[in-house]
Amino acid sequence: MDKNSYRWVIVAAGGLLGCVAVGSMFSLPVFLKPMAQETGWSVTGISTAMTFGFLAMAVASMVWGNLSDRYGPRPVVLAGSVLLAASLALASQSSSLIEFQLVFGVLVGAATAAMFAPMMACVTGWFDTQRSLAVSLVSAGMGMAPMTMAPFAAWLVTVHDWRTSMLIIAGIAAVVMIPTSLLLRRPPALAAGNEAALADEPQADMTVRQAVRSPQFIVLMLAGFFCCATHSGPIFHTVSYAVTCGIPMIAAVTIYSVEGLSGMFGRIGFGVMGDRFGARRVLVIGLLAQAFGVLFYAFASQLGQFYAVAVVVGFIYAGVMPLYAVIVRENFPLKMMGTIIGGTAMAQSLGMSMGPLLGGLIYDHFNSYVWLYVGSWGMGIAAALIALTFRPFAQPNRELATAS
């Protein structure tokens, strides 16, 4: 199979791996009540495992990314797939809350991170054209998790206890992810004998030390942090906020489904716009729109209004996320894609870990979620302003070569 055909195999593999990995980790909310009832562990204590998971993802992202730069995506993603299946199996047998928090939170979170930076680095390296669309399709695969793995987990716990259900998910992860990871290949430009192609890369002579100290990398990390801090609180707390507005819980939960479905279209839509108008420009506009989108939740009080805002917010926040990897690919050499994308993913995971905690603190203090959305709006404005300061690296050598 030629390069142009096989690159779409890489996209399909990345989407499937991301869907199963993210879906496995984010099945925890489905297990909350059955776990609490059977074990006597507190809901707060079980939920803390997810906080540990985000922090583990942050720490592991840059490590996995760096390893993929050294050894290629296949062994790294394969190792992450094995670790994820094993961790889920171990977590299902936990005998204490602290054991579950460490095994599920730390190990499952770290394993899930192996699917993001290495896969995004791999996909961006395979595409010279339609890059934004390709990255967005991989991200769309991850976005399928709430509509596939979560309902499947919900069905499992109606038939089995939570331990058996989690063990089944571990088996599915192993059966699906391990063979799929074997389909991955290094981008052709990184293959032996392609030194000329690497020499033509953006900032080909740049070292990793120079890259992580560059203003461009720092701006992308800060923008990603504030971007995720903007939507993490609303994602986590909007169902609770809808319930405080008098909406029944069963109906309130469907707000997430609307956000997830809208996000599928957002990933593809922003991918197409990124290819047409430039990823950097679309990212700035998207971040600004996201800020006002989450603010609109503060004015919603009826289910129809929540649905309307969920469509807008889901479309935007899911759409902007893949653009960071595209901008990294346009400005940094392919040889360090995993490390740099891993660094931005680390900042994004830290931003995601803030929302649930800050939202809870705000509600406990003000007995209202309104200030959560106002604060999220402020962080969204900050993200847009930071992204606006991004300036691509100068390309003096290429410009001179073109002029001559």
- For the segment 68-87, the average pLDDT, to the nearest whole number, is 94
Do 102 and 239 belong together in one domain?
Answer: no
Identify the residue with better confidence: 97 or 360: 97
- Higher per-residue pLDDT: 345 or 83: 83
Distance CA 280, CA 392 (A): 9
Is residue 211 within 8 A of residue 340, CB to CB? The reply is yes
Q: Is residue 336 part of a domain?
A: yes
pLDDT tens column, 284-309: 999 999 999 999 999 999 999 999 99
Q: Please give the structure tokens belonging to residue 200.
A: 């033509």
Q: Are residues 144 and 213 in the same domain?
A: no
Instruction: Indicate whether 265 belongs to any domain.
Output: yes
Please indicate, yes or no, whether residues 305 and 285 belong to a single structural domain of this protein.
yes
Decide: 153 and 33 in contact? Cβ < 8 Å. Answer: no
Whole-number average pLDDT of the chain: 87
Cα torsion 204, 205, 206, 209 to 10°: value is 140
Cα dist from 221 to 68, 194, 327, 337, 345, whole Å? 20, 30, 12, 14, 8
Based on the domain organization, do 93 and 130 belong to the same domain? yes
Q: What are the structure tokens assigned to 281, written together?
A: 């420009």
Give 241's pLDDT tier (boundaries 50, 70, 90): confident
105 and 214 inside one domain:
no
Among 217, 209, 222, 237, residue whose Cα is nearest residue 29: 237
Average confidence (pLDDT) over 1-15: 84
Q: What is the 3-state secondary structure (H, E, C) of 10-70?
A: HHHHHHHHHHHHHHHHCCHHHHHHHHHHHHCCCHHHHHHHHHHHHHHHHHHHHHHHHHHHH
Look at 44-58, 71-85, 204-218, 388-402 and tell me which has the smallest mean pLDDT: 388-402
The alpha carbon of residue 115 and the mean position of all alpha carbons in its chain are separated, in whole angstroms, by: 10
Q: And the tokens for 1?
A: 């199979």
* 346 falls within a domain: yes
pLDDT band at 3 (very low <50, low <70, confident <90, very high): low
Q: Report DSSP state, residue 130.
A: S
Residues 245 and 181 reside in one and the same domain = no
Question: What b/e sequence results for 236-253 when a residue is b if at least 16 CB atoms lie within 10 Å of its CB, and e otherwise?
Answer: bbbbebbeeeebeeeebe
- Indicate whether 403 belongs to any domain: no
Domain boundary among 191, 218, 235: 191
Mean pLDDT, to the nearest integer, of 265-286?
91
Which domain-ending residue is among 134, 166, 191? Answer: 191
Residues 2 and 100 in one domain: yes
Residues 373-377: what's their mean pLDDT? Answer: 95
Same domain, 144 and 265: no
Number of domains in the chain: 2
Residue 384 lies in a domain: yes
Quick one: pLDDT band at residue 248, thresholds 50, 70, 90? Answer: confident
What is the domain range of residue 285?
Answer: 201-390
- The answer to whether residue 148 sits within a structural domain is yes
Domain end residue (candidates: 164, 191, 218) = 191
Please indicate, yes or no, if residue 361 is contained in any of the structural domains.
Answer: yes
Distance of CA 106 to the CA centre of its chain: 17
Asked whether residue 395 is assigned to any structural domain, the reply reads no
Token reading at 183 = 């389909």
Tell me, yes or no, whether 77 and 164 share the same domain. yes
Do 338 and 258 have their domain in common?
yes
What predicted TM-score, i.e. pTM, was given to this entire model?
0.79
- Indicate whether 19 and 121 sit together in one domain: yes
Regarding whether 180 and 153 lie in a shared domain, the answer is: yes
CATH assignment at residue 1: 1.20.1250.20
